């Protein structure tokens, strides 16, 4: 084989190996990010973010695409760890306790205010690292059952590096299914204390004066946003000294939710911080 033919063959082989380095899911996510980039520049959220939700039969799903300012290497290193997901999930106002062991993340879900753990509901998630390459990350938390008749919970995160790895593009899916008991309980909530709660999607897309959706889709949109903001707050807190990180992410999460007070405001800042400090220091949290 001549040198030219040998060199050409090597280039072709290297190109093929390079194409294989990023899995098809990573390629699809990169294409998605490119398609969304113009929309991000004019996002109504005040940050590069898009949120959509669906309700199909007894299945609810919220999805967020977003660019975060933290390096991809941090996301790749931390978001495969069960204990890290406890730190993230504990920021949510309804998470009362979390413990991690091996690939299990056990979460107690309750009211927005303080309550004894015996009055909360335990959801046992299994953490599955699906892929963790230099160009694509995918992790999934799944739980077979939840409170009342909810089931098939899934929190799935995918990520790719942007700007040479200095930023990260995230795609987050949060989904679960519900049965009759959960449907009746939610209808009761939405007809009483939750009657004024709304999501982020307009009833008439593109019409800024149109009311926001409510109901079950409103619920899943609010929770998807809370989980996304918790991931963002966790990653941002890693720049602080370790002893200050938890406090910083609690404060950052609350401040971020207040940017969307119409949907996410529940209690004032001091009450939230005091409650979370107590909840974080419970045994096994």
Structural domain boundaries in the chain:
39-178+196-280
Task: Evaluate if residue 9 carries a pLDDT over 50.
Answer: no
pLDDT at 21: 53
Cα of 233 vs its chain's centroid, Å: 11
pTM for the whole structure: 0.89
- Radius of gyration over alpha carbons of the chain, in Å? 21
pLDDT at 252: 98
Phi-psi region of 68 (alpha: psi -120 to 50; beta: other; left: phi over 0): beta
Phi-psi region of 254 (alpha: psi -120 to 50; beta: other; left: phi over 0): alpha
Give 183-213 pLDDT, tens digit per residue: 777 777 777 766 689 999 998 877 777 899 9
Give 265-283 pLDDT, tens digit per residue: 999 999 999 999 999 998 7
Q: What would the CATH number be for the domain defined by 39-178+196-280?
A: 3.30.530.20
């Amino acid at each position: 084989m001549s040198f030219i033919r040998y060199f050409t063959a090597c280039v072709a082989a290297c190109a093929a190996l390079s194409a294989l380095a990023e899995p098809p899911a990573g390629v699809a996510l990169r294409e998605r990010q490119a398609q969304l980039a113009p929309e991000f520049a004019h996002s109504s959220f005040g940050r590069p973010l898009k949120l959509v939700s669906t309700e199909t039969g007894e299945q609810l799903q919220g999805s967020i695409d977003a660019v975060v300012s933290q390096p991809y290497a941090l996301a790749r290193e931390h978001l495969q760890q069960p204990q890290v997901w406890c730190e993230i999930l504990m920021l949510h106002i309804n998470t009362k306790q979390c413990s991690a062991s091996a690939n299990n993340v056990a979460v107690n879900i309750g009211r927005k205010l303080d309550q004894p753990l015996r009055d909360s509901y335990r959801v046992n998630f299994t953490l599955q690292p699906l892929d963790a390459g230099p160009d694509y990350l995918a992790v999934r938390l799944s739980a077979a059952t939840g409170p009342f008749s909810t089931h098939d919970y899934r929190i799935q995160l995918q990520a790719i590096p942007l700007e040479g790895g200095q930023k990260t593009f995230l795609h987050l899916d949060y989904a679960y299914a519900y049965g009759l008991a959960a449907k009746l309980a939610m209808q009761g909530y939405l007809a009483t204390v939750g009657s004024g709660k709304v999501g982020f999607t307009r009833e008439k897309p593109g019409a800024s004066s149109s009311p926001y959706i409510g109901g079950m889709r409103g619920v899943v949109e609010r929770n998807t946003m809370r989980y996304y903001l918790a991931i963002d707050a966790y990653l941002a807190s890693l720049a602080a000294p370790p002893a200050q990180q938890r406090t910083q992410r609690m404060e950052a999460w609350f401040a971020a939710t207040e940017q969307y007070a119409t949907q996410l405001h529940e209690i004032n800042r001091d009450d939230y911080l005091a409650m979370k400090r107590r909840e974080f220091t419970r045994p096994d949290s």
